[in-house]
Structures are given as C-alpha cells and as structure tokens.
Chains A and B, each alone.
Chain A
Amino acid sequence: MLEGRRGAVVRVALLLAAIVVLPLVVRPVVASEIWIFSIAAMALNLIFGYTGMLSFGQATFFGLAAYTAGLLMIHWQAPLLVVLAAGTLVGALAAALIGYVCIQRVGVYFIMLTFGFNQMFYFIAYKWTSLTGGDDGLPGIPRPPLALGPLGIRLDTSVRYYVFVAAVFLLAFYAMKRVVDSPLGVIFQSIRENPGRAAAVGYDVKRYKWLAFTIAGGFTGLAGVLYSMMFGIVPLESISWIISGDIVFMVLIGGIGNLYGPLLGAAAFKWLSETVSIVWERWPLILGVALVLVVLFLRGGLVEAFARLREATAGRGAEA
C-alpha cells in the first residue's frame, strides 16, 4: 500500500474507476450486489478488523432491515429515502439490543452468542410465514423512485439501480472512513490491540464495543435495504447464517483491519460465486477450500497478497 496523501488520492481514484468499470465487466446486477455486500463487509470490518470482535450473526441486521424495508414498501408504499432510513435505524436498534447482551462475553462466547441470535431470528422469520413468507421469501417488493425535492428519478432498470447503489455505497464508504479515521476509530483499535490497557487508560471498553456493534448494525441494515429492492424479493436466506458466513468470508479474503480489504473481498466473492456457481452447483465446496487455504496460508487476505506481490516485484527491480 502506498502511504501518505498521494497514496490516499490514488486509492480513491482507483475506487471511483472501479465503480465506473465494474458494470462493464460483470452484469449490472452483480455489480450492484458487490457494492451492497461491500457495505455489509465494511460494517463487519469495523467490529472484527478494527475492534477485534468477530460477529457470526451479521445477517440478523441485514435480514431484519431487508424485511422491514420490504414490508414498509409493500403495505405502506413508503418512499425510497424513508425506507433507507428506516432500515438503517432497524439495523442499528437491533444491533444495540442484541449487542448489549453479546458484549457481556468475549472471545468464543461472543461469537456463539451472535450466531445464536442470528439463528433465533432466522427461525422466527422461517416460521412466521404470514409476515415473512417463510421459506418462499417475501415477494412483490417495488423499487420506488428516488424523490429529491420535486425531482423523481426512476430506478427501474438495473443500470439505473446500479448508479443509485454506487452513490449510496460511496456515501457509506465516506462515513465509514470518517469513523475509522476519527479519535473514536483509534479507541476501537486500542480495544482490539489490548482491551485491558484501553480500560486502564480510562476508556469504558464495553460501551465502546457496544457503540461499534451498533454502528456496524446500522451499516449492515442499509445494505439489507438495498438488497431487498434488488430482485424485488427478500429471500429467507437473507437472514440466515449463510449470509453471515458470506460476510465473514468477504472480510477475511479481502484482508481484515484495512478499509479497502472488505471491498476487494466482496468483489472477489461475488464475482467468483457468479462465475463458478453457473458452472458447478457444488460451489460452496470451492468456497470452503478457499477459506481453509486463506486461513492457513494467507491470513492478511488479498490486501496481503498484493503487498507480497509488490514486495517481490520491487525486490526483483532492485536487483536488476
């Protein structure tokens, strides 16, 4: 990674270029999915990569927000921005409630609690068919136009929706960057590095963990809302541990504790699942093998792979 101001400018320029180029390389629908899951992966990165808490239940907030958005639009024809705000709020509120219980424990207990809560909401969504449609999913979700003052911008084609998703992603990315770069972000990292010392210098570790978890819940909720409008249906899967696992996988394969890692991870994951799952329906097998290999040999993810590659080529250049 390049350092300093020049590096930051280069990275942002690359990100903007990626947003423009991506829908030309993959289908716009897949491109939208990549940025949606980038938001969710960014959120997990805040609590896992920066604060040191591995949550295995992010689909709880993703799914709750998706169902909330879907129901608001189906039953009350709620406008787009209201739905986005509502989903974000539901994600944050749910994370505040669930997080309060989960952060009482650390390490493996924390992980199992987040996983357990995820399953609880999954079973509720699965059994409460009159509300959620159960196994069949919640269909018939409209995609309301974006109303900016008197202007109503229709988002009916997948390209238009892509532009909207990319814009929301950029706003979310900027917000996340502000959080991470702020003094608050430094406190989060100090908790990751050494919770005991963070407490000793006067920070209320539990409160900051709770805050990080809640912020992440809000971001994940935002992603869930965007997902619900994507295919006009909220599948039961959106609240299942499968999505939770996918999000963990994206962060891990991209590189944890780096602002851009989760974006790389989400892109690699969605692109792979899109190409491989068409060829071979046993694609989770490849996913599992990839996960095992990353965990055993490349724990810094793609970001580390790039860094190693850069080092290797730089070393060769110096020799010549």
Chain B
Amino acid sequence: MNLALLGGAVLNGLVTGMLYALMGVGLSLILGLLNIPNFAHGVLYAIGAYVLVSASKAFGFLGGAVAALAVVAVLGALIEWGGVRRLYRVHPDYILLLTFGLSLILTEAIILVWGPVGITFQPPALLAGAVDLGVTTYPKYRLLVMVVTGALVLACYLFVTRTRWGAIIRAGIEDKDMAAALGINIRRVFTLTFAAGTGLAGLGGALMAPVRGLLPTMGLDILPFAFVVVVLGGLGSLPGAILAGLLVGVVQSLMTAIWAPGADASVFALMTLGIIARPQGLLGQR
C-alpha cells in the first residue's frame, strides 16, 4: 500500500472515528445516567440526516444542520418524557425493549415519509472539492466534518467535566438518589441529558449525510459500532468513548483498505479482545 492510500485511509478512519466518538459520548452519558443502552440512538441519527435534507431546502445547509439537532433533541426529550420515564421503577431490560420498539416505529416512519430508496446529498458548494495535504488530497467537506465533530466531542467533554451542569450530570451518574436528596431535580436532568445525547446523534447524522448518503436503515447500520465504542471505552467514561471511537474508526478504515471483507468483523474482534483484556473497558472504572 502506498503512502497516499494509507493517508487517505487514516483520514477516513478519523472522520468515522470522530462520528463514533460523538455517538459514543451521547450513548455513554445516557447509559451512565439512565442505565439503558438506547437502541433508538441509531434511528435518531438517521432522522437527523433526513431532517437536514428536507430543512436545508428552506434554510440552507447550516440551518438544516441546526434543525436536525433541534428536531432530534425534541424527539429525544419526548421519548424520555413519554415512555422511558414510566419504566424507571421496572427492570432496565424493559427500557431497552421500549427503545427497540421505538427504533422499529421510527425506521418505518422514515420509509413512510421519505421513501425506502437511498438518497444522495451534495455538500454545500463552498465545501465541494478537495485540498492537497501533501501526502494525499482529501475532500474539503470531510475535513470540516472531522474538525466540527472533534470540536463537538471536546465541547461535550469540557461541559461535563468543567461546568456546574456537568457536575450535576456526574453526580447523577455517581448516585441518583443522593443527587435528588441534595435538591437536584434529577428527572429534569434525565430528560435534558437524553435530549442532548440524542440531539448530538441527530447532528452527527446530518453532518454525515453528504459523506455517506441516506438510507432508512442507516441508523441500524451504525448502531452496533456505537455500542462497541461504549463497551470498549468503559461505562460513563467520556475520554474512553472518545479514544474507543477513534480506535474503532481507524481500525475499520485501515482494514477496509487492506482486506475489505473483514473490515466490519475486525471491529467486533477488537471489542472481544478488549473485553477479555480489560472487562471494565479501556478507561472505565467499574
């Protein structure tokens, strides 16, 4: 393999990896706080992409991306408020099954609204074309996606670790009852965290639409990888999710360049090795 090809593969891996990290951060926060693997996370990512396609016709690309974030975050809040909340006192398995059911419903809803056939979507004209990076030339839009998702992931990390709101979320992950006893409205924190986590997935879907195109099942295709990122990174550990996201993205992309049929399977092999070596995840505490 020559250097240009290798460089391209690594860059592709970083783009995908940043997306995985973004999905993983949202999932990890929801998992840490609400103790559920959100099965609907994938389909909400897909809805973000579809909302972008429709909304960008009226508001342009940037407006479309903001709309995707807002619509999916509201949808996430509604899911938490109308469904998940009713099951906190029941076994967490049922919350998972609820989100699985919602995932089926929303996937079919996408097909009903936007049709079953795949859609391609062009990046904004300003960002069309490629730049020469010396080693290899690379599409401008993908570089931008890498930078933007990277910045979002970093912002999430700083928000959770450095702000008062973040401290409340961390307190909730540590001990919900104690946080509630100290006068924190933990229910509202749950709703807002769910909304924020899913909203990020929606924005991720919107940003990836010009890179990967749109398909009603696109969310289900990416969901297992987001799960791998969370498992590999460690429960509630944001640096873990970020590290695992980049690792998974780069491994997948390099394997695609070396031996494409084994690319997806290699990610799960990586997870297996990770679990055997470190059952608590790369940077997990428990």
In the complex, the number of residue pairs spanning A and B with C-beta atoms less than 8 Å apart equals: 110
User: Is B279 in contact with chain A by the CB < 8 A criterion?
Assistant: yes
User: Is A108 in contact with chain B by the CB < 8 A criterion?
Assistant: yes
Contacts of B264 in A (CB 8 A): 119-120, 123, 127
Evaluate whether A291 and B104 lie within 8 angstroms (CB atoms) in the complex, with A124-B265, A282-B111 already known.
Answer: yes
Contact A112 B230, beta carbon cutoff 8 Å:
yes
Contacts of A290 in B (CB 8 A): 101
Contact B86 A116, beta carbon cutoff 8 Å:
no
Contacts of A296 in B (CB 8 A): 83, 86-87, 98
Evaluate whether A289 and B96 lie within 8 angstroms (CB atoms) in the complex, with A115-B227, A119-B224 already known.
Answer: no
Contact A116 B227, beta carbon cutoff 8 Å:
yes
User: Is B157 in contact with chain A by the CB < 8 A criterion?
Assistant: no
Contact B97 A248, beta carbon cutoff 8 Å:
yes
Contacts of B90 in A (CB 8 A): 299
Contacts of B260 in A (CB 8 A): 127
Chain A interface size, under 10 / 10 to 19 / 20 to 34 / 35 or more: 35 or more
CA distance A248 to B231 in the complex (A): 22
Contacts of B235 in A (CB 8 A): 109
CA distance A248 to B108 in the complex (A): 19
Contact B279 A284, beta carbon cutoff 8 Å:
no
Contact B276 A116, beta carbon cutoff 8 Å:
no
Please classify the interface of chain B as helix (H, G, I), strand (E, B), loop, or mixed, using the class held by over half of its residues. Answer: helix
Contact B109 A116, beta carbon cutoff 8 Å:
no
Contact A104 B275, beta carbon cutoff 8 Å:
yes
User: Is B93 in contact with chain A by the CB < 8 A criterion?
Assistant: yes
Among B92, B97, B109, which residue has the most Cβ atoms of chain A within 10 A? Answer: B97
Contact A112 B231, beta carbon cutoff 8 Å:
yes
Chain B interface size, under 10 / 10 to 19 / 20 to 34 / 35 or more: 35 or more
Contact A285 B108, beta carbon cutoff 8 Å:
yes
Tell me the A151-165 residues at the B interface (CB within 8 Å): none
Tell me the B248-286 residues at the A interface (CB within 8 Å): 260-262, 264-265, 267-269, 271-272, 275-276, 279
User: Is A287 in contact with chain B by the CB < 8 A criterion?
Assistant: yes
Q: In the complex, which residue of chain B has the Cβ closest to the Cβ of A53?
A: B93
Q: Which of B30-38, B142-150, B180-188, B203-211 contacts A (4 or more CB under 8 A)?
A: B30-38
Evaluate whether A245 and B231 lie within 8 angstroms (CB atoms) in the complex, with A127-B264, A128-B261, A288-B105 already known.
Answer: no
Evaluate whether A108 and B94 lie within 8 angstroms (CB atoms) in the complex, with A119-B268, A288-B104, A289-B101 already known.
Answer: no
Q: In the complex, which residue of chain B has the Cβ closest to the Cβ of A248?
A: B97
User: Is B100 in contact with chain A by the CB < 8 A criterion?
Assistant: yes
Contact A292 B108, beta carbon cutoff 8 Å:
no
Tell me the B72-131 residues at the A interface (CB within 8 Å): 83, 86-87, 90, 92-94, 96-98, 100-105, 107-109, 111-112
Contact A284 B86, beta carbon cutoff 8 Å:
no
B94, B105, B220, B268: the one contacting A285 at CB < 8 Å is: B105
Task: For residue B30, give the distance in angstroms from its CB to the closest CB of chain A.
Answer: 11
Q: Mark A73-99, 1 if CB is under 8 A from B, else 0.
A: 000000000000000000000000000
Contacts of A107 in B (CB 8 A): 35, 92
On A, residues with C-beta under 8 Å from B are 48, 54, 101, 104-105, 107-109, 111-113, 115-117, 119-120, 123-124, 127-128, 241, 245, 248, 252, 282, 284-285, 287-292, 295-296, 299
On B, residues with C-beta under 8 Å from A are 31, 35-37, 83, 86-87, 90, 92-94, 96-98, 100-105, 107-109, 111-112, 220, 224, 227-228, 230-231, 235, 260-262, 264-265, 267-269, 271-272, 275-276, 279
Nearest 3 A/B pairs, CB to CB: A288-B104, A291-B101, A120-B268
| Seed contacts A117-B272, A241-B220, A284-B108; 8 additional CB < 8 Å A-B pairs | A54-B96, A108-B36, A111-B93, A112-B227, A113-B271, A123-B265, A127-B262, A295-B87
